[in-house]
Structure 1
Amino acid sequence: MAIISKLIIISIIAISFALAFLVFYLMSSLPQKQRKKQIEEITSQLINFVLFLWLAKILLNLPLFVRDPLAVLAYPSNSEAFYLAALFTGGLLFYKARKRKIAGGLLAHSFLQVFLAASFFYEFIQLIWRENPFSFPYLPVYGLLLAVFHVLQGRVSRQSQISIVLGAGAAGFFAISLMLPYLSMFGYIVEPWFLALVLAACFGLLIKDPQDEPHSESN
């Protein structure tokens, strides 16, 4: 039963990101070629995150993995594995941005749009299909952030756009924390310090000029 429930969650996440990519492709102000390129890069990084999630799960349960690998691989990932996978992915992104293999600012801008849309669709599906009442407070927050993102698009710089949306997002999650016993992200319980770290990482990517293109293609 736990495995079936986990598969359902994975399916909802996949559907949410597929819809988010569609929204990004239709509403992004980037040229069509760049939109496709950003979708490919984000997809690549999401695949990296999933691989890192499996690696983190193994590292956190290494003694058990040595004795019984299947027991670890079949066990759902927890929040600690989620944190570690996010750390690995963030480290890889900063390395690639530093080596100019990706345009860090542009990727952060594109990913933020995809993330907000995917989060909105995920919570919407959770609320409507699975009747999860804990998803309701997230919908107005993600919906408002997505609306602000698109209103600002083309009117302010990418740096300012990201800064405003992230600042509003921090306020939104603080409001949610007052209503719910815990915060979650795609089904994983997350602590406020993790969200603060994610915000800091996004700002860090803005150090690179978002208009710069990487010297070489890399997925």
Structure 2
Amino acid sequence: MTTWQVGPLLIPEAAVATVIALVAAYLYVRYFTLYQGSAGYRPRDRAVNVLILIGFVYAFGTVLLNLTLFLSDPMAVLSYPSGPGEFILALCAAGIYIAVQHWKKGIDVRELFAVLLYIVLAAQIVYAVWTRESGTSINGPLPFAEHPIAFYTTAVSVALLFWLHRLGEKIQRSAQLSVVGAAWAFSQWLIMRVDAVPQLLMVYVPAASFLILSIVMAVMSILLTIIHKRR
């Protein structure tokens, strides 16, 4: 992808696409979902806070992961590109933030996760349309020379968004939400297996992490369903 230079600053096209995709996704949630209008302000605001935290830690997590080197040569460390380590660190920070907010303010974690899922799915559609990424080569009588990653991502995201809309108020049930989350994570794992560079938006993520996430969420869904039936 293209990289633009503004003075001494290099701006990757992927970063611009990610920002635009997230803004467009927020507007989609703001006007076209269950969390639209003033009634959905708080869950939307909390979701944005989580995304900002993830973005900040991902961008500057290299400092924490290379603290000794940073103290001696800060510019060298700041020039390092972020990777899977920073992404995992960002997710841990977000998890701690959500846990603290739930404990101190009693926020609805299910509601927050639903908004985040809406935003991520919508952002993936915008990002895929913008970047039109392709994956590994295809050997066989197919109309594509390479796997159309952008098409796969868009198709899956549209299908899951449609699923979320069909759920409506049922989306507040943890079991239902976990199923959608598990389906999304598993689809990401499948897509990344044929992607030349596995990534979520502009973030490079090991494909195996999505397989683990899908298993965890599937187990959560089963457990929550059992608990709900016993009640």
TM-score norm. by structure 1 comes to: 0.78
Letter in 2 for 1:43: V
| Contact preservation (8 Å) 1:109, 1:158 | no
Query: 1:124 — aligned with what?
Result: 129
Query: 1:115 — aligned with what?
Result: 120
Quote the Cα distance in structure 2 between the aligned partners of 1:87 and 1:193: 17
Bigger Rg over Cα? 2
Quote the Cα distance in structure 2 between the aligned partners of 1:7 and 1:104: 33
Gaps of 5+ in 2: 136-148, 225-231
Matches within 5 A, 1:62-141: 62-127=67-132, 132-134=133-135, 135-136=149-150, 137-141=152-156
2:157 is equivalent to residue 142 of structure 1: yes
2:56 is equivalent to residue 51 of structure 1: yes
Match of 1:42 among 34, 44, 47: 47
Report the secondary structure of 1:153's partner residue.
helix
Larger RCO (alpha carbons 8 Å, 6+ apart): 1
Match of 2:32 among 27, 31, 36: 27
Q: 1:161 to 1:120 in 2, by over 3 A?
A: farther
| Contact preservation (8 Å) 2:189, 2:208 | no
Query: 1:211 — aligned with what?
Result: none
Q: 1:89 to 1:197 in 2, by over 3 A?
A: farther
Q: CA deviation at 1:177?
A: 4.0
Q: Larger deviation: 166-175 or 138-147?
A: 166-175
Q: CA deviation at 1:59?
A: 1.6
TM-score norm. by structure 2 comes to: 0.74
Q: CA deviation at 1:84?
A: 1.1
Quote the Cα distance in structure 2 between the aligned partners of 1:93 and 1:172: 25
Quote the Cα distance in structure 1 between the aligned partners of 2:212 and 2:104: 22
Query: 2:145 — aligned with what?
Result: none
Match of 1:185 among 177, 200, 210: 200
| Contact preservation (8 Å) 2:63, 2:77 | yes
Quote the Cα distance in structure 2 between the aligned partners of 1:196 and 1:71: 34
2:188 is equivalent to residue 173 of structure 1: yes
User: Where has structure 1 moved over 6 Å in runs of 4 or more?
Assistant: none
Q: CA deviation at 1:17?
A: 0.8
Q: 1:170 to 1:10 in 2, by over 3 A?
A: closer
1:59-94 Cα deviation digits (max 9, x unpaired): 222232112111211322112111111111112212
Query: 1:215 — aligned with what?
Result: none
Quote the Cα distance in structure 2 between the aligned partners of 1:31 and 1:195: 29
Query: 2:138 — aligned with what?
Result: none
Quote the Cα distance in structure 2 between the aligned partners of 1:68 and 1:53: 20
Percentage of pairs with the same residue: 22
Q: CA deviation at 1:50?
A: 2.3
Q: 1:201 to 1:88 in 2, by over 3 A?
A: farther
Gaps of 5+ in 1: 208-219
